[in-house]
Chains A and B, each alone.
Chain A
């Protein structure tokens, strides 16, 4: 059984097609990177799979079932800049939001939920910041809190929208270690990713996307120069062909970092 199975998915706004005829499957237990140029529809793909877009046709199955938030199979890390970090709440409270799917309507979080949330904060190295206002956290710390919230969801399949954007190197390491741990526990993780240099190190399954699926499969088969050229439409420069390190405009910046 596949963790994610998408067939004939198309997303269109008024007069532009954002995603076209997506057919995709990701086996259980894969740490997957979604790679593609800006505007390729990477975030849209995640949102479409999570049933957040109205103008969508096609079929999506998670672990062989239609998506249903009630069975708590899915964990989600949205883009960090999608929320207002001035919101008056603390780190632990945000992580506790991850438990809501388990708590259900009309109930309040129990002491056990609180404990779980605290453990998740601990696993991302943020336990000392539990009572800190979220507005006072750095970008990297905010991202860790978001990851902890997803962990608190205790899901089977995780979707992460650009978790490495605007975070420090230490946070990036923490995050990737946690993702690898998740993988070892048999969870499936889908990550929208920008930095082509790290793809081989991070992911064992890669999806190349530019409005439609260019290629999808094990990283060593999919992540090739030819297919990348196809995905990025020639906008790609290969700095070091021996190591096959690909550097996009964005990638070259991150190389400096």
Chain B
């Protein structure tokens, strides 16, 4: 039974992150997700310091605020002329350092140790249960289901807006689409996804689940819908494969999930159908155009 819960949790992480990851890759914000996965720590610690509990709801709120703060600070630094990669680097390392420091200062004796935040402990998931409307499930599963629902809802409602503002923001602006709202709503979702997943796979490995399956899907697909499906599929495969590999070698489950995702990506990268020759040909025609121009 416990094994099943671990697998369910892992698969839910795969699905949720796979879904969110697609637009992260398309919006070229993979490293913002990396930043948020680090700064979420800061938000969680602040939530703990303020409320003195490890309640999931407060953690979620703290993480959400930290995520938005990260996205906002990066935006501010960038709009004042600092290049994007450096802006991301400055913001996340600073907030992460602050988070680590606050833990050692104020929360050293609670369950909130940095190692746990970074690496997670999916094997402990089944013991921490929560009962709601008569159903008892691991807390992590509840949280992931909630965030998954939120993600799906957001995508269903704003799919076409998200799509056009991602593909052509300038045009989207001329249509009067709420670009700023979409950006920050999406960033909030990324933060929620990170927190929900971090308890099981850890903050750093959330990044693997957010970026790697979606990148794999990107290589495989010609449409966003196919990309969404293949990304989620790769997410689930990484989670389940990772679990059994970890069992085989008696090692970290979360680490193995990331490793498996990397393995799948590598296979797809080497043997993918559409690209290769085609891409090279197109790059050549582009050069040709420039020369002609």
Q: A-side interface residues toward B, CB under 8 Å?
A: 47, 50, 52, 68-70, 74, 76, 78, 82-84, 87-90, 93-94, 97, 100-101, 103, 105-106, 108-109, 133, 135-136, 138-139, 149, 159, 165-166, 253, 257
Instruction: From B30-38, B55-63, B190-198, B222-230, give the one contacting chain A.
Output: B222-230
The majority secondary structure among interface residues of chain B is helix
Cβ–Cβ contact B176 & A69, under 8 A: yes
> Beta-carbon contacts of B149-164 to A below 8 Å, as 1s and 0s?
0000000010011011
The interface residues of chain A lying within 8 Å CB-to-CB of B223 are 88-90, 93
Cβ–Cβ contact B289 & A74, under 8 A: no
Q: Does B244 sit at the interface, judged by CB under 8 A? A: no
Cβ–Cβ contact A257 & B174, under 8 A: no
Q: Does B175 sit at the interface, judged by CB under 8 A? A: yes
Q: Does B286 sit at the interface, judged by CB under 8 A? A: yes
The interface residues of chain A lying within 8 Å CB-to-CB of B26 are 87-88
Cβ–Cβ contact B286 & A100, under 8 A: no
Cβ–Cβ contact A108 & B160, under 8 A: yes
If A69-B176, A87-B26, A88-B218 touch, does A78 touch B170 (CB 8 Å cutoff)? yes
Interface residue from B166, B175, B222, B293 paired with A101 (Cβ < 8 Å): B175
Q: Does B259 sit at the interface, judged by CB under 8 A? A: no
Cβ–Cβ contact A139 & B286, under 8 A: yes
Cβ–Cβ contact B170 & A82, under 8 A: yes
Residue of A nearest to B274 (CB): A133
Can you list 12 A-B contacts with CB-CB less than 8 angstroms, sorted by A residue number? A47-B170, A68-B176, A69-B175, A70-B176, A78-B170, A82-B168, A84-B28, A89-B163, A90-B222, A139-B285, A149-B171, A165-B293
A24 to B171, alpha carbons, bound, how many Å? 23
Cβ–Cβ contact B171 & A97, under 8 A: yes
Chain B interface size, under 10 / 10 to 19 / 20 to 34 / 35 or more: 20 to 34
Q: B-side interface residues toward A, CB under 8 Å?
A: 26, 28, 157, 160-161, 163-164, 166-168, 170-171, 173-177, 218, 221-224, 226-227, 278, 282, 285-286, 289-290, 292-293
The interface residues of chain A lying within 8 Å CB-to-CB of B168 are 78, 82-83, 97
Interface residue from A50, A93, A108, A109 paired with B174 (Cβ < 8 Å): A50
Cβ–Cβ contact B224 & A89, under 8 A: yes
Cβ–Cβ contact B289 & A139, under 8 A: yes
If A88-B218, A88-B222, A88-B226 touch, does A166 touch B289 (CB 8 Å cutoff)? yes
Cβ–Cβ contact A106 & B175, under 8 A: no
Cβ–Cβ contact B227 & A88, under 8 A: yes
**Which 4 pairs across A and B sit closest by C-beta, in order of nearness?**
A69-B176, A76-B174, A78-B170, A83-B168
Cβ–Cβ contact B167 & A84, under 8 A: yes
Cβ–Cβ contact A94 & B167, under 8 A: yes
A133 to B226, alpha carbons, bound, how many Å? 13
A206 to B226, alpha carbons, bound, how many Å? 46
Cβ–Cβ contact B167 & A52, under 8 A: no
Cβ–Cβ contact A87 & B222, under 8 A: no
Residue of A nearest to B278 (CB): A136
Cβ–Cβ contact A109 & B160, under 8 A: yes
If A88-B223, A257-B292 touch, does A97 touch B282 (CB 8 Å cutoff)? no
A88 to B230, alpha carbons, bound, how many Å? 13
Cβ–Cβ contact A88 & B170, under 8 A: no
Residue of A nearest to B285 (CB): A138
Cβ–Cβ contact A135 & B176, under 8 A: no
CB distance from B277 to the nearest CB of A (A): 12
Residue of A nearest to B176 (CB): A69
CB distance from A135 to the nearest CB of B (A): 7
Residue of A nearest to B218 (CB): A88
Cβ–Cβ contact B174 & A69, under 8 A: yes
A59 to B177, alpha carbons, bound, how many Å? 22
Residue of B nearest to A99 (CB): B160
If A87-B167, A89-B224, A135-B282 touch, does A253 touch B293 (CB 8 Å cutoff)? yes
CB distance from A199 to the nearest CB of B (A): 19
CB distance from B274 to the nearest CB of A (A): 8
The interface residues of chain A lying within 8 Å CB-to-CB of B286 are 139
Cβ–Cβ contact B161 & A105, under 8 A: yes
A190 to B226, alpha carbons, bound, how many Å? 38
